[in-house]
Amino acid sequence: MWLYLVALVGLWTLLRLIRERKVVSHLQDKHVFITGCDSGFGNLLARQLDRRGMRVLAACLTEKGAEELRNKTSDRLETVILDVTKTESIVAATQWVKERVGNRGLWGLVNNAGICVPLGPIEWMNKEDFAKILDVNLLGMIEVTLSMLPLVRKARGRVVNVSSAVGRVSFSGCGYSISKYGVEAFSDSLRRELSYFGVKVAIIEPGAFKTALNSVGRLSSSIKMLWDRASSEVKEVYGEEFMLYYLRIVTSLVETCSEDLTLVTDCMEHALTSCHPRTRYSAGWDAKLLYLPMSYLPTFLSDAFFYWSSAKPAQAL
């Protein structure tokens, strides 16, 4: 009995691999628009797709980031300045894309732009701290998608939204996890609606990776800023020992992050170039072996895991 089951799983895995290796034809004629290309995943993906001969339209937040990217790529790649929190910037970028794709439409839209600070315990934050992250990671992504959808639908193309493993299991109260839960819900709805038009939607769920956005210096500054701003009551309840412990935990987590960003960008590339892309891509071993299995556990078990892993700061209160 077990032998038949193993054989069946092996056959299914083999057929899936063969199916997923089929590549879309005429990639050199297809345009892909990527947000957040100043650094990190977006920057690396833009260079990867450019090497494959695709026509990359890279959106950067700063002119410096755009210039550095152009210096590392071919003349095919073009850049535009985009702030996903500003409607006028999105409208201008959409018009810019229209002029380049023409009647062919936009084959790929990659919503990669994102931020992860402010970061800290919920009680240290205010509404504006949450809004700052949601404006970029969720609302900005939604507005860019709505603006580009007619072009993607014309090409019967792809939408690739970058979520996170913590969009499945949240261990921090900051706006980052909240925004990524929203990305998951939006992507699921979008995928089901656009399937009628031949458009495929994929979600990328990276684990912990080291990028410029989650550097030790950036996260430490955010935590210290929230602590310095906190009320005297909050400081009395939590105590400086808790703040220092929280800071050490975040620092140690960042130091263990993977530096191999290709684990993520290879998933993005597959979602854009495969004839049969996956619905979800879990990038990184922590995403596959920790966050993904934990998302299917009963709530009391996942709560118990996080409770015991955070026992020391709880005792400090």
**Residue positions annotated with a catalytic role:** 176
Q: Which two tokens stand for residue 133?
A: 């992250």
Query: Are 46 and 73 within 8 A, CB to CB?
Result: yes
Task: Please tell me the distance from the alpha carbon of residue 77 to that of residue 1, in angstroms, as a whole number.
Answer: 55
Query: Are 85 and 309 within 8 A, CB to CB?
Result: no
Task: Please tell me the distance from the alpha carbon of residue 213 to that of residue 189, in angstroms, as a whole number.
Answer: 28
Instruction: Tell me how crowded residue 221 is: count the other CB atoms within 10 A of its CB.
Output: 14
Task: Please tell me the distance from the alpha carbon of residue 89 to that of residue 84, in angstroms, as a whole number.
Answer: 7
118 prior amide bond cis, ω within 30: yes
Minimal CA–CA distance to 243: which of 230, 256, 253, 257? 230
Minimal CA–CA distance to 33: which of 102, 106, 105, 86? 106
Task: Please tell me the distance from the alpha carbon of residue 317 to that of residue 312, in angstroms, as a whole number.
Answer: 9
